[in-house]
Structure 1
Amino acid sequence: MLRIREAIEKDIITGKLAPGTKLDEEALAARYGASRTPVREAFQQLASQGHIALRPHMGAFVATLSVTELVEMFEAMAYLEAACAALASRRHTDADRTRLAAAHGACVKAAKRKDPDAFYAANARFHECIYAASHNEYLAAETLRLRNRLEAYRRESTFHPGLMALTINEHVKILQAILDMDEAAAASRMRGHLDTLRDDAVSMARAVVRATGRRAA
Protein backbone atom coordinates (compact mmCIF):
# COMPACT_ATOMS: atom_id res chain seq x y z
CA MET A 1 0.00 0.00 0.00
CA LEU A 2 2.87 2.38 0.80
CA ARG A 3 4.31 1.87 -2.69
CA ILE A 4 0.96 2.69 -4.28
CA ARG A 5 0.36 5.75 -2.10
CA GLU A 6 3.83 7.14 -2.83
CA ALA A 7 3.43 6.55 -6.57
CA ILE A 8 0.06 8.33 -6.72
CA GLU A 9 1.35 11.15 -4.51
CA LYS A 10 4.35 11.62 -6.80
CA ASP A 11 2.11 11.81 -9.87
CA ILE A 12 -0.01 14.47 -8.14
CA ILE A 13 2.99 16.51 -6.99
CA THR A 14 4.69 16.40 -10.39
CA GLY A 15 1.50 17.33 -12.22
CA LYS A 16 0.98 14.05 -14.06
CA LEU A 17 -2.36 13.92 -12.28
CA ALA A 18 -3.79 17.43 -12.52
CA PRO A 19 -6.19 19.01 -10.01
CA GLY A 20 -9.72 17.75 -10.61
CA THR A 21 -8.63 14.48 -12.27
CA LYS A 22 -10.83 11.48 -11.42
CA LEU A 23 -8.83 8.54 -10.10
CA ASP A 24 -9.84 5.16 -11.51
CA GLU A 25 -9.52 2.65 -8.68
CA GLU A 26 -9.67 -0.40 -10.96
CA ALA A 27 -7.14 1.00 -13.45
CA LEU A 28 -4.71 1.92 -10.67
CA ALA A 29 -5.01 -1.54 -9.13
CA ALA A 30 -4.16 -3.09 -12.50
CA ARG A 31 -1.31 -0.64 -13.04
CA TYR A 32 0.36 -1.53 -9.75
CA GLY A 33 -0.47 -5.24 -9.85
CA ALA A 34 -2.54 -5.06 -6.69
CA SER A 35 -6.10 -5.64 -5.54
CA ARG A 36 -8.44 -2.70 -5.11
CA THR A 37 -8.14 -2.83 -1.30
CA PRO A 38 -4.63 -1.30 -1.04
CA VAL A 39 -5.65 1.32 -3.62
CA ARG A 40 -8.63 2.29 -1.44
CA GLU A 41 -6.33 2.45 1.60
CA ALA A 42 -3.92 4.67 -0.35
CA PHE A 43 -6.85 6.93 -1.27
CA GLN A 44 -7.78 7.25 2.41
CA GLN A 45 -4.25 8.28 3.38
CA LEU A 46 -3.93 10.73 0.49
CA ALA A 47 -7.31 12.22 1.41
CA SER A 48 -6.14 12.72 5.01
CA GLN A 49 -3.12 14.62 3.63
CA GLY A 50 -5.29 16.80 1.43
CA HIS A 51 -3.98 15.45 -1.88
CA ILE A 52 -7.27 13.92 -3.02
CA ALA A 53 -10.97 14.40 -2.33
CA LEU A 54 -13.32 11.46 -1.75
CA ARG A 55 -16.81 12.30 -2.98
CA PRO A 56 -19.76 10.06 -2.04
CA HIS A 57 -21.17 8.10 -5.00
CA MET A 58 -18.64 9.78 -7.31
CA GLY A 59 -15.23 8.43 -6.34
CA ALA A 60 -11.78 9.89 -5.75
CA PHE A 61 -10.47 13.05 -7.40
CA VAL A 62 -7.19 14.91 -7.23
CA ALA A 63 -7.90 17.77 -4.84
CA THR A 64 -8.78 21.10 -6.41
CA LEU A 65 -8.14 24.08 -4.18
CA SER A 66 -10.60 26.94 -4.12
CA VAL A 67 -9.21 30.41 -4.75
CA THR A 68 -9.58 31.22 -1.05
CA GLU A 69 -7.73 28.04 -0.03
CA LEU A 70 -4.98 28.73 -2.53
CA VAL A 71 -4.48 32.31 -1.35
CA GLU A 72 -4.39 31.23 2.30
CA MET A 73 -1.93 28.42 1.63
CA PHE A 74 0.38 30.66 -0.40
CA GLU A 75 0.20 33.23 2.38
CA ALA A 76 1.36 30.59 4.87
CA MET A 77 3.96 29.35 2.40
CA ALA A 78 5.37 32.85 1.99
CA TYR A 79 6.03 33.13 5.72
CA LEU A 80 7.49 29.63 5.99
CA GLU A 81 9.85 30.18 3.07
CA ALA A 82 10.73 33.65 4.37
CA ALA A 83 11.65 32.08 7.71
CA CYS A 84 13.84 29.54 5.90
CA ALA A 85 15.57 32.31 3.94
CA ALA A 86 16.11 34.41 7.07
CA LEU A 87 17.65 31.51 8.97
CA ALA A 88 19.70 30.50 5.93
CA SER A 89 21.20 34.00 5.83
CA ARG A 90 22.47 33.51 9.39
CA ARG A 91 23.34 29.81 9.38
CA HIS A 92 24.47 28.83 5.89
CA THR A 93 27.76 26.99 5.53
CA ASP A 94 30.28 26.94 2.71
CA ALA A 95 28.66 23.72 1.50
CA ASP A 96 25.26 25.45 1.48
CA ARG A 97 26.70 28.31 -0.57
CA THR A 98 28.05 25.83 -3.11
CA ARG A 99 24.72 24.00 -3.38
CA LEU A 100 22.74 27.24 -3.70
CA ALA A 101 25.04 28.53 -6.43
CA ALA A 102 24.78 25.24 -8.33
CA ALA A 103 20.98 25.19 -8.08
CA HIS A 104 20.75 28.79 -9.25
CA GLY A 105 23.12 28.05 -12.12
CA ALA A 106 20.92 25.13 -13.19
CA CYS A 107 17.90 27.47 -13.23
CA VAL A 108 19.75 29.95 -15.43
CA LYS A 109 20.84 27.24 -17.89
CA ALA A 110 17.32 25.81 -18.13
CA ALA A 111 15.85 29.27 -18.71
CA LYS A 112 18.36 29.98 -21.49
CA ARG A 113 17.38 26.69 -23.15
CA LYS A 114 13.70 27.60 -22.67
CA ASP A 115 13.22 24.20 -21.04
CA PRO A 116 10.35 24.52 -18.52
CA ASP A 117 10.63 20.94 -17.26
CA ALA A 118 14.32 21.34 -16.44
CA PHE A 119 13.63 24.77 -14.98
CA TYR A 120 10.89 23.37 -12.76
CA ALA A 121 13.27 20.74 -11.35
CA ALA A 122 16.10 23.24 -10.85
CA ASN A 123 13.75 25.77 -9.25
CA ALA A 124 12.50 23.15 -6.79
CA ARG A 125 16.10 22.29 -5.97
CA PHE A 126 16.96 25.97 -5.36
CA HIS A 127 14.13 26.35 -2.85
CA GLU A 128 14.97 23.05 -1.16
CA CYS A 129 18.59 24.18 -0.77
CA ILE A 130 17.31 27.24 1.10
CA TYR A 131 15.17 25.05 3.37
CA ALA A 132 18.22 22.90 4.13
CA ALA A 133 20.43 25.95 4.71
CA SER A 134 18.07 27.08 7.48
CA HIS A 135 19.45 24.15 9.52
CA ASN A 136 16.06 23.74 11.17
CA GLU A 137 14.82 20.28 10.24
CA TYR A 138 11.29 20.81 11.53
CA LEU A 139 10.83 24.06 9.63
CA ALA A 140 12.30 22.53 6.47
CA ALA A 141 9.99 19.49 6.69
CA GLU A 142 6.85 21.57 7.28
CA THR A 143 7.76 23.95 4.46
CA LEU A 144 8.31 21.04 2.07
CA ARG A 145 5.03 19.43 3.14
CA LEU A 146 3.05 22.56 2.30
CA ARG A 147 5.04 23.06 -0.88
CA ASN A 148 3.99 19.59 -2.02
CA ARG A 149 0.32 20.52 -1.51
CA LEU A 150 0.83 23.51 -3.79
CA GLU A 151 3.21 21.92 -6.26
CA ALA A 152 0.73 21.30 -9.07
CA TYR A 153 -0.09 25.02 -9.11
CA ARG A 154 3.54 26.11 -8.79
CA ARG A 155 4.56 23.75 -11.58
CA GLU A 156 1.93 25.06 -13.97
CA SER A 157 3.20 28.60 -13.42
CA THR A 158 6.58 27.56 -14.84
CA PHE A 159 5.02 27.26 -18.29
CA HIS A 160 3.59 30.79 -18.33
CA PRO A 161 5.36 33.26 -20.65
CA GLY A 162 7.98 35.42 -18.97
CA LEU A 163 7.83 33.70 -15.60
CA MET A 164 11.20 31.94 -15.89
CA ALA A 165 13.01 35.23 -16.50
CA LEU A 166 11.13 36.91 -13.66
CA THR A 167 11.92 34.00 -11.33
CA ILE A 168 15.63 34.18 -12.18
CA ASN A 169 15.71 37.89 -11.32
CA GLU A 170 13.99 37.28 -8.00
CA HIS A 171 16.27 34.33 -7.20
CA VAL A 172 19.33 36.53 -7.76
CA LYS A 173 18.08 39.02 -5.17
CA ILE A 174 17.17 36.31 -2.66
CA LEU A 175 20.49 34.54 -3.08
CA GLN A 176 22.46 37.76 -2.71
CA ALA A 177 20.65 38.64 0.51
CA ILE A 178 21.39 35.17 1.92
CA LEU A 179 25.07 35.35 0.96
CA ASP A 180 25.30 38.88 2.39
CA MET A 181 23.81 37.53 5.64
CA ASP A 182 21.06 40.15 5.40
CA GLU A 183 18.26 38.42 7.28
CA ALA A 184 15.60 41.10 6.76
CA ALA A 185 16.23 41.39 3.02
CA ALA A 186 16.28 37.62 2.54
CA ALA A 187 12.90 37.26 4.26
CA SER A 188 11.34 40.23 2.47
CA ARG A 189 12.53 39.16 -0.96
CA MET A 190 11.33 35.61 -0.45
CA ARG A 191 7.87 36.82 0.59
CA GLY A 192 7.74 38.98 -2.52
CA HIS A 193 8.78 36.01 -4.64
CA LEU A 194 5.96 33.88 -3.23
CA ASP A 195 3.50 36.72 -3.83
CA THR A 196 4.41 36.56 -7.53
CA LEU A 197 3.81 32.81 -7.60
CA ARG A 198 0.54 33.23 -5.69
CA ASP A 199 -0.87 35.71 -8.18
CA ASP A 200 -0.05 33.42 -11.10
CA ALA A 201 -1.41 30.34 -9.33
CA VAL A 202 -4.66 32.11 -8.45
CA SER A 203 -5.22 32.84 -12.14
CA MET A 204 -4.72 29.14 -12.85
CA ALA A 205 -7.06 28.14 -10.02
CA ARG A 206 -9.82 30.32 -11.41
CA ALA A 207 -9.46 28.51 -14.73
CA VAL A 208 -9.64 25.11 -12.99
CA VAL A 209 -12.71 26.20 -11.05
CA ARG A 210 -14.43 27.20 -14.29
CA ALA A 211 -13.44 23.94 -15.99
CA THR A 212 -14.63 21.69 -13.15
CA GLY A 213 -17.72 23.70 -12.32
CA ARG A 214 -16.64 24.13 -8.72
CA ARG A 215 -17.64 27.43 -7.16
CA ALA A 216 -14.73 29.68 -6.16
CA ALA A 217 -14.79 30.62 -2.51
Structure 2
Amino acid sequence: MVRVPESQRVRDALENAVIDGRYRPGERLDPAQLEEEFGCSRTPIREALQALERSGLVQIRPKRGTYVTELSIPELAERFEVMAELEGMAARLSARRIERESLEELERALRECEKHAAADDADSYYYANASFHGIVYDSCGNEYLRQQAHALKRVLQPYRRLQLRVPDRMRRSLTEHRVIADAIAVGDAETAENAARDHVLVQVKEFSHMVRTWKQVTEPATSSK
Protein backbone atom coordinates (compact mmCIF):
# COMPACT_ATOMS: atom_id res chain seq x y z
CA MET A 1 0.00 0.00 0.00
CA VAL A 2 1.31 3.45 -0.92
CA ARG A 3 1.92 5.68 2.12
CA VAL A 4 0.09 9.00 1.91
CA PRO A 5 -0.01 12.08 4.19
CA GLU A 6 -2.77 12.28 6.80
CA SER A 7 -4.54 15.11 4.96
CA GLN A 8 -4.51 13.02 1.75
CA ARG A 9 -5.94 10.02 3.62
CA VAL A 10 -8.77 12.19 4.93
CA ARG A 11 -9.32 13.74 1.51
CA ASP A 12 -9.56 10.34 -0.18
CA ALA A 13 -12.01 9.07 2.42
CA LEU A 14 -14.17 12.20 2.10
CA GLU A 15 -14.13 11.93 -1.70
CA ASN A 16 -15.38 8.36 -1.45
CA ALA A 17 -18.03 9.30 1.11
CA VAL A 18 -19.37 12.14 -1.06
CA ILE A 19 -19.38 10.10 -4.25
CA ASP A 20 -20.92 7.09 -2.48
CA GLY A 21 -23.73 9.32 -1.24
CA ARG A 22 -22.94 9.10 2.49
CA TYR A 23 -22.52 12.88 2.41
CA ARG A 24 -25.22 14.20 0.12
CA PRO A 25 -25.36 17.27 -2.15
CA GLY A 26 -25.98 20.37 -0.05
CA GLU A 27 -25.04 18.68 3.23
CA ARG A 28 -22.89 20.62 5.69
CA LEU A 29 -19.62 18.98 6.77
CA ASP A 30 -18.85 19.55 10.45
CA PRO A 31 -15.05 19.74 11.07
CA ALA A 32 -15.44 18.66 14.71
CA GLN A 33 -17.41 15.60 13.67
CA LEU A 34 -14.84 14.81 10.98
CA GLU A 35 -12.02 15.05 13.54
CA GLU A 36 -13.78 12.43 15.64
CA GLU A 37 -14.58 10.24 12.65
CA PHE A 38 -11.02 10.19 11.31
CA GLY A 39 -9.22 10.35 14.64
CA CYS A 40 -7.00 13.27 13.69
CA SER A 41 -6.45 16.94 14.49
CA ARG A 42 -8.13 19.93 12.86
CA THR A 43 -5.16 20.69 10.56
CA PRO A 44 -5.44 17.66 8.21
CA ILE A 45 -9.23 18.12 8.17
CA ARG A 46 -8.83 21.75 7.11
CA GLU A 47 -6.23 20.86 4.47
CA ALA A 48 -8.43 18.07 3.09
CA LEU A 49 -11.48 20.35 2.84
CA GLN A 50 -9.43 23.05 1.12
CA ALA A 51 -8.20 20.48 -1.41
CA LEU A 52 -11.76 19.28 -2.02
CA GLU A 53 -12.87 22.87 -2.57
CA ARG A 54 -10.19 23.28 -5.26
CA SER A 55 -11.53 20.19 -6.99
CA GLY A 56 -15.08 21.56 -6.79
CA LEU A 57 -16.41 18.73 -4.65
CA VAL A 58 -17.26 21.02 -1.71
CA GLN A 59 -17.91 24.73 -1.22
CA ILE A 60 -16.47 26.65 1.75
CA ARG A 61 -18.82 29.50 2.61
CA PRO A 62 -17.39 32.17 4.96
CA LYS A 63 -19.08 32.16 8.39
CA ARG A 64 -21.47 29.43 7.21
CA GLY A 65 -19.36 26.31 6.86
CA THR A 66 -18.42 23.72 4.24
CA TYR A 67 -21.09 22.14 2.05
CA VAL A 68 -21.08 19.30 -0.46
CA THR A 69 -21.39 20.61 -4.02
CA GLU A 70 -24.14 19.22 -6.23
CA LEU A 71 -22.39 17.62 -9.20
CA SER A 72 -23.05 18.94 -12.70
CA ILE A 73 -22.36 16.32 -15.37
CA PRO A 74 -22.16 18.83 -18.29
CA GLU A 75 -19.60 20.99 -16.46
CA LEU A 76 -17.48 17.98 -15.57
CA ALA A 77 -17.69 16.64 -19.12
CA GLU A 78 -16.38 19.98 -20.41
CA ARG A 79 -13.42 19.80 -18.04
CA PHE A 80 -12.65 16.25 -19.11
CA GLU A 81 -12.71 17.33 -22.76
CA VAL A 82 -10.13 20.02 -22.03
CA MET A 83 -8.07 17.53 -20.01
CA ALA A 84 -8.10 15.13 -22.96
CA GLU A 85 -6.63 17.79 -25.25
CA LEU A 86 -3.97 18.75 -22.70
CA GLU A 87 -3.06 15.09 -22.20
CA GLY A 88 -2.82 14.54 -25.94
CA MET A 89 -0.64 17.59 -26.49
CA ALA A 90 1.65 16.69 -23.59
CA ALA A 91 2.08 13.13 -24.89
CA ARG A 92 2.81 14.37 -28.42
CA LEU A 93 5.50 16.78 -27.22
CA SER A 94 6.93 14.22 -24.80
CA ALA A 95 7.36 11.75 -27.66
CA ARG A 96 9.63 14.33 -29.28
CA ARG A 97 11.42 15.68 -26.20
CA ILE A 98 11.52 13.14 -23.37
CA GLU A 99 14.94 12.43 -21.85
CA ARG A 100 16.22 8.91 -21.21
CA GLU A 101 15.99 9.33 -17.43
CA SER A 102 12.35 10.43 -17.63
CA LEU A 103 11.58 7.55 -19.97
CA GLU A 104 12.96 5.15 -17.37
CA GLU A 105 10.80 6.83 -14.72
CA LEU A 106 7.78 6.38 -16.98
CA GLU A 107 8.49 2.65 -17.24
CA ARG A 108 8.86 2.38 -13.46
CA ALA A 109 5.52 4.12 -12.96
CA LEU A 110 3.94 1.74 -15.46
CA ARG A 111 5.32 -1.26 -13.56
CA GLU A 112 3.83 0.16 -10.36
CA CYS A 113 0.48 0.40 -12.13
CA GLU A 114 0.81 -3.23 -13.21
CA LYS A 115 1.56 -4.33 -9.64
CA HIS A 116 -1.43 -2.54 -8.13
CA ALA A 117 -3.78 -3.61 -10.91
CA ALA A 118 -2.78 -7.24 -10.30
CA ALA A 119 -3.57 -6.75 -6.60
CA ASP A 120 -6.89 -5.07 -7.47
CA ASP A 121 -5.82 -2.10 -5.32
CA ALA A 122 -7.62 0.85 -6.91
CA ASP A 123 -6.31 3.50 -4.51
CA SER A 124 -2.65 2.54 -4.93
CA TYR A 125 -3.21 2.18 -8.66
CA TYR A 126 -4.54 5.73 -8.77
CA TYR A 127 -1.36 7.16 -7.22
CA ALA A 128 0.88 5.19 -9.58
CA ASN A 129 -1.38 6.30 -12.43
CA ALA A 130 -1.05 9.94 -11.32
CA SER A 131 2.73 9.56 -11.29
CA PHE A 132 2.65 8.13 -14.83
CA HIS A 133 0.67 11.08 -16.15
CA GLY A 134 2.78 13.57 -14.20
CA ILE A 135 5.94 12.29 -15.86
CA VAL A 136 4.35 12.80 -19.28
CA TYR A 137 3.44 16.40 -18.38
CA ASP A 138 6.88 17.11 -16.94
CA SER A 139 8.59 15.74 -20.06
CA CYS A 140 6.69 17.80 -22.62
CA GLY A 141 9.20 20.66 -22.63
CA ASN A 142 6.48 23.32 -22.43
CA GLU A 143 6.24 24.89 -18.97
CA TYR A 144 2.86 26.54 -19.52
CA LEU A 145 1.32 23.29 -20.74
CA ARG A 146 2.90 21.42 -17.84
CA GLN A 147 1.38 23.82 -15.30
CA GLN A 148 -2.08 23.77 -16.87
CA ALA A 149 -2.14 19.97 -17.12
CA HIS A 150 -1.15 19.54 -13.47
CA ALA A 151 -3.70 22.16 -12.35
CA LEU A 152 -6.63 20.58 -14.18
CA LYS A 153 -5.56 17.09 -13.09
CA ARG A 154 -5.86 18.24 -9.46
CA VAL A 155 -9.37 19.54 -10.13
CA LEU A 156 -10.45 16.25 -11.71
CA GLN A 157 -8.68 13.99 -9.22
CA PRO A 158 -11.77 12.74 -7.33
CA TYR A 159 -13.60 11.92 -10.55
CA ARG A 160 -10.63 10.16 -12.14
CA ARG A 161 -10.34 8.08 -8.98
CA LEU A 162 -14.04 7.27 -9.15
CA GLN A 163 -13.94 5.82 -12.66
CA LEU A 164 -11.39 3.23 -11.52
CA ARG A 165 -14.31 1.53 -9.75
CA VAL A 166 -15.84 0.63 -13.10
CA PRO A 167 -15.44 -3.15 -13.54
CA ASP A 168 -12.30 -4.02 -15.51
CA ARG A 169 -11.33 -0.34 -15.78
CA MET A 170 -7.90 -0.79 -14.18
CA ARG A 171 -6.95 -3.50 -16.67
CA ARG A 172 -8.07 -1.40 -19.63
CA SER A 173 -6.38 1.69 -18.21
CA LEU A 174 -3.15 -0.28 -17.93
CA THR A 175 -3.40 -1.37 -21.57
CA GLU A 176 -3.96 2.26 -22.61
CA HIS A 177 -0.93 3.33 -20.56
CA ARG A 178 1.22 0.77 -22.35
CA VAL A 179 0.23 2.14 -25.76
CA ILE A 180 1.05 5.69 -24.63
CA ALA A 181 4.40 4.69 -23.10
CA ASP A 182 5.46 2.62 -26.11
CA ALA A 183 4.60 5.44 -28.52
CA ILE A 184 6.54 7.98 -26.47
CA ALA A 185 9.52 5.60 -26.22
CA VAL A 186 9.83 5.25 -30.01
CA GLY A 187 9.06 8.90 -30.73
CA ASP A 188 5.70 8.24 -32.39
CA ALA A 189 4.10 11.61 -31.57
CA GLU A 190 0.84 11.03 -33.44
CA THR A 191 0.08 7.69 -31.78
CA ALA A 192 1.06 9.05 -28.37
CA GLU A 193 -1.26 12.04 -28.79
CA ASN A 194 -4.25 10.01 -29.98
CA ALA A 195 -3.80 7.33 -27.32
CA ALA A 196 -3.47 9.87 -24.50
CA ARG A 197 -6.50 11.83 -25.67
CA ASP A 198 -8.65 8.72 -26.02
CA HIS A 199 -7.47 7.50 -22.61
CA VAL A 200 -9.15 10.52 -21.00
CA LEU A 201 -12.21 10.72 -23.25
CA VAL A 202 -13.25 7.16 -22.43
CA GLN A 203 -13.38 8.22 -18.78
CA VAL A 204 -16.02 10.85 -19.59
CA LYS A 205 -18.51 8.22 -20.72
CA GLU A 206 -17.82 5.88 -17.82
CA PHE A 207 -17.83 8.63 -15.23
CA SER A 208 -21.04 10.22 -16.57
CA HIS A 209 -22.81 6.86 -16.30
CA MET A 210 -21.63 6.41 -12.72
CA VAL A 211 -22.69 9.92 -11.67
CA ARG A 212 -26.13 9.53 -13.23
CA THR A 213 -26.56 6.33 -11.24
CA TRP A 214 -25.29 8.09 -8.12
CA LYS A 215 -27.70 11.02 -8.55
CA GLN A 216 -30.64 8.63 -8.92
CA VAL A 217 -30.07 7.17 -5.46
CA THR A 218 -29.28 10.42 -3.60
CA GLU A 219 -31.39 13.48 -2.86
CA PRO A 220 -30.23 17.00 -1.95
CA ALA A 221 -29.87 17.29 1.82
CA THR A 222 -32.43 19.36 3.65
CA SER A 223 -29.61 20.81 5.76
CA SER A 224 -28.72 23.15 2.89
CA LYS A 225 -31.90 25.10 3.42
TM-score band by shorter chain is 0.7 to 0.9
* Distance change in 2, residues 1:153/1:95 (3 Å): same
- How many Å separate the matches in 2 of 1:143 and 1:169? 22
**Match status 1:95 vs 2:104:** no
Aligned with 1:195 (options 169, 186, 201): 201
Normalised by the size of structure 1, how large is the TM-score? 0.79
Tell which deviates more after alignment, 140-149 or 164-173.
140-149
Deviation track 1:145-198 (CA, whole Å, cap 9, x = no partner) reads 211221111112212211111111111111111112121211111111111111
Q: Determine the structure 2 residue equivalent to 1:168.
A: 174
The 8 Å contact of residues 31 and 42 in structure 2, kept in 1 or not, is answered as no
Structure 1 pair 138/13, CA: closer, same or farther in 2 (3 Å)? farther
1:125 equivalent among 126, 131, 154 = 131
- Does the 8 Å contact 2:98/2:140 carry over to 1? yes
Classify 1:172/1:43 alpha carbon distance in 2 versus 1 (closer, same or farther; 3 Å): closer
- SS of structure 1 residue aligned to 2:167: coil
- Contact 1:103–1:123 (CA under 8 A) maintained in structure 2: yes
Q: Spell out the pairing of 1:199-214 with structure 2 (5 A cutoff).
A: 199-213=205-219
Listed one character per residue, the Cα deviations across residues 51-107 of structure 1 (whole Å, up to 9, x for unaligned) are 422579984224343110111111011011111111111110001110000011111
Aligned length: 205
Structure 1 contact 9–46 (Cα < 8 Å) conserved:
no
Within 5 Å, which residues of 2 pair with 1:55-66? 59-66=65-72
Aligned to 2:165: 159
> Are the counterparts in 1 of residues 55 and 154 from structure 2 also a CA contact under 8 Å?
no
SS of the residue corresponding to residue 174 of structure 1 reads: helix
> Where does 1:128-139 land on structure 2 (aligned, <5 Å)?
128-139=134-145
Return closer, same or farther for 1:65/1:141 CA change in 2, 3 Å cut-off: farther
Distance 1:127 1:48 in 2: 20
Q: Which runs of 5+ in 1 are unaligned?
A: 1-5
- Give percent identity, aligned residues only: 32
* 1:183 aligned partner: 189
Q: Give the equivalent residue in structure 1 for 2:223.
A: none
What is the SS of the residue equivalent to 2:71?
A: coil
Structure 2 vs 1, CA of residues 137 and 212 (structure 1 numbering), >3 Å: closer, same or farther?
farther
Distance 1:17 1:84, change over 3 A: farther
Kept in 2, the 8 Å contact 1:91–1:133? The answer is yes
Question: CA 1:48–1:161 in structure 2 vs 1: closer, same or farther (change >3 Å)?
Answer: closer
Pick closer, same or farther for the CA change 1:33–1:58 going to 2, 3 Å: closer
AA aligned to 1:200 is E
Q: TM-score, normalised by structure 2?
A: 0.76
Distance 1:211 1:199, change over 3 A: same
